[in-house]
Amino acid sequence: MVNFTCPKCGAPLQVKPGTQLSVCSFCGTPSYIDRREAIFFYILPFKIADDAARGIFKRWTASPVCPKDMETAASITGLKKTYFPVFRFRRTVDGKEQVFSRPARGTLLPGMYTVEIPPGDMIIFDSETKTGGAAVLHPDITIDTYLPELKGTPIDQSLVYFPIYELTYRYDGTEYAMVIDGSSGRISVTNSPKRSSVSYVAVMALAFVLGFIGTLLGLLIHPLFFVLVIAGIFAGKLLAHRVVKKPNGGAA
């Protein structure tokens, strides 16, 4: 047996080696057992349903950052509901409270180093907690890994199971991945298709050339050409936007 201390009431906890969850016999508080201490153990429930996550992806494909045909051409190939372990640190820095989060598991998933944990929504994670069919990933990083890099004086620290959707999709023959925050709907991506600006640049370049010619004609022949230059620039910009505008009238 290994001796730890309950993070809530300070009572002794006797834990078998290899155990990750212990319940205090005095106050009933469940604790996550890190390598060197017992810490509070929470879960952040999903607020975004599966259909809503698909809708978030669909709206994102219609945004200006995506290719103009992506809304109709991209298809979801996988949607996995997961609870990802994150360490939450509350610390006092320069007299003010700050909250830091770090992944408790090695990962290449985007956004796991910048998750935002709303404190009011956390609940204690115990044996009776319902996960709604989500996969629960266990930590493989110890909390003291991050302590040397954190600023300030510690207030408390905890392990939080954070809700995410791991979504994969196919576009133009290539597979891509993203993470959707199951609490707020926030999207995190590392690599995604980008909208080409070639058509826009080509039309604007043509408008510039015509404007330059009009300026020369205005200087050499008649000032009326200056009016035509201004009109041409605005017409070129309008045409350039129409070139990259979606065929169905959606936002570019």
Helix (H) or strand (E) holding 99: strand 96-103
* Residue 97: strand pairing partners: 92
Q: Which of 78-87, 130-139, 215-224 has the lowest mean pLDDT?
A: 215-224
What gap in Å lies between CA 46 and CA 82, rounded to an integer? 10
What pLDDT shows up at residue 217? 59
Q: For 66-72, what is the mean pLDDT?
A: 91
What pLDDT shows up at residue 207? 63
Instruction: Report the largest interatomic distance among the alpha carbons of the chain, rounded to a whole angstrom.
Output: 97
What gap in Å lies between CA 116 and CA 136, rounded to an integer? 19
Contact, 111 vs 188, CB < 8 A?
yes
**Tokens in use for 17?**
């080696």
* Residue 93: strand pairing partners: 96
Alpha helix positions (H), 88-149: none
- pLDDT > 70 fraction of the chain, expressed in percent and rounded: 75
Q: For 177-186, what is the mean pLDDT?
A: 95
What pLDDT shows up at residue 102? 95
Contact, 43 vs 160, CB < 8 A?
yes
Q: Compute CA distances 62 → 48, 77, 193, whole Å.
A: 20, 18, 12
What gap in Å lies between CA 13 and CA 3, rounded to an integer? 6
pTM for this structure?
A: 0.72
In the predicted model, is pLDDT for residue 200 greater than 80? no
